Amino acid sequence: MICDVHAHYTPKNFSEFMGDRFASPTHLAVKRGLARHPFSDTQEDIDARFWLMEDAGVGRQVLSPNHPPYLPDEAECVTAVKMLNDAYADFAHRYPDRISSYVMLPLPHIDPSLKEMERGFDQLGCVGVNMNIVCLGRSIAETEFEPLYAEMNRRGAVLFVHPAGSAICSPFIIDYNYGGSVGTSLEDATFVLHMIAKQIPYRYPNIKFIVPHLGGPIPMLMNRLDKQGQGPRGHPNLAEAPSVTARRFYYDTVCYGSKPAFLCALEAFGADHIVRGSDYPVLQGWEVYRETFAYIERLGLPKELTDKILHHNAQALFGFEH
């Protein structure tokens, strides 16, 4: 069975608490075109989610929010994130064979985030950490976030990162209405680039990073990064080549079924580092849920590679296989 590492879920009480500060489908469903997709914690939506999972051959989803729950006020941010994590844990505990969740952190507040990470792993049963790539305008590669990486490294944790919808804070993308179609993939690539520059995966090698959307343009830039990225105008003091760092990550398969994109990422990163994701329910405005997985079996790959990517890599990464 397939493990979907990139699926979203929005509890209604959290959405109501956040209001317009959280671009949440539970109160902007009609505006964002997501009203027909089951994403909330109503029993109707939960039943419909499970039907879609069964239809697609998905045995388990690992859940996260589709937008960052970050607030500048520490107390309010902690309240919001605890509300979110409690709802996710409740869902996972009610359906332990179908649902798992990442622990969300009340960023940018570091000490509360460390406490919530501990609570998520030790009390709530979370299977990894979720962080958004941009936190209130700051890259999560910045030095102030390093205590979080140190703790994840100590735990050997999975870290799933997700675009914050910032379109890399660029008017060149935002003003031309490419925030969703292109900006998210540029955020993914920027995260990898910042991690390379800060050498975080090298210095914290026990963290198992998952980057969405096949890493955006990173697979096409590996050779260029190795040639130019280490030069005097780039980062001449890296401990390893950028391509080596990039291959430390895992990448999910969300790409609208693009064969060129998938094959490029497969060649760049290797089959062992490709895991299944759907970006549910965001992509389902344009393709049915089952199609986000079915396209892989039509790519003409050897069956052993297809089977590894669909049925084994994510399960092994999270320890779901026994």
The domain tally of the chain equals 1
Residue 265 sits in a domain whose CATH number is: 3.20.20.140
Residue-range definition of the domain harbouring residue 135: 2-318
Q: Provide the β-strand partners of residue 102.
A: 128
Q: For residue range 271-301, what is the model confidence (pLDDT) as tens digits?
A: 999 999 999 998 877 889 999 999 999 999 9
Strands 128-132 and 134-135: unpaired
pLDDT above 70 for 30: no
Radius of gyration of the chain (CA): 19
Tell the burial category of 123 from Cβ atoms under 10 Å away from its Cβ (0-12, 13-18, 19+): exposed
Measure the CA–CA gap between 300 and 29, rounded to whole angstroms.
37
* Helix then strand then coil, % of the chain, to nearest 5: 55, 15, 35
Alpha helices (runs of H) in 95-183, residue ranges in sequence order? 110-119, 146-155, 171-174
Measure the CA–CA gap between 89 and 70, rounded to whole angstroms.
19
Tell the burial category of 261 from Cβ atoms under 10 Å away from its Cβ (0-12, 13-18, 19+): buried
Question: What's 41's DSSP letter?
Answer: S
Predicted confidence band of residue 224 (pLDDT cuts 50, 70, 90):
very high
By the 8 A CB rule, do 149 and 143 touch?
no
Predicted confidence band of residue 204 (pLDDT cuts 50, 70, 90):
very high
Longest dimension (CA), the chain: 58
Question: What are the DSSP calls for 227-269, one per residue?
Answer: HHTTSTTS-TT-SS-HHHHHTTSEEE--STT-HHHHHHHHHHH
By the 8 A CB rule, do 18 and 81 touch?
no
Question: What's 135's DSSP letter?
Answer: E
**233 contact partners, CB below 8 Å, separation of at least 6:** none
Nearest CA to 181 out of 108, 254, 267 is that of 254
pLDDT above 50 for 32: no
Q: Rounded to two decimals, what is the model's pTM?
A: 0.94
- Cα torsion 95, 97, 98, 100: sign: positive
Greatest mean pLDDT range, 31-45, 176-190, 220-234: 176-190
By the 8 A CB rule, do 4 and 60 touch?
yes
**120 contact partners, CB below 8 Å, separation of at least 6:** 85, 89, 102, 103, 104, 126, 129
> What token pair was written down for 218?
């990173």
Alpha helices (runs of H) in 22-168, residue ranges in sequence order? 25-32, 43-56, 74-94, 110-119, 146-155
Q: For residue range 246-270, what is the model confidence (pLDDT) as tens digits?
A: 999 999 999 989 999 999 999 999 9
- Cα torsion 167, 6, 201, 204: sign: positive
Measure the CA–CA gap between 319 and 300, rounded to whole angstroms.
28
Measure the CA–CA gap between 121 and 319, rounded to whole angstroms.
14
By the 8 A CB rule, do 184 and 163 touch?
yes
Q: For residue range 96-122, what is the model confidence (pLDDT) as tens digits?
A: 999 999 999 999 999 999 999 999 999
Whether cis (ω within 30° of 0) applies to the bond prior to 112 is no
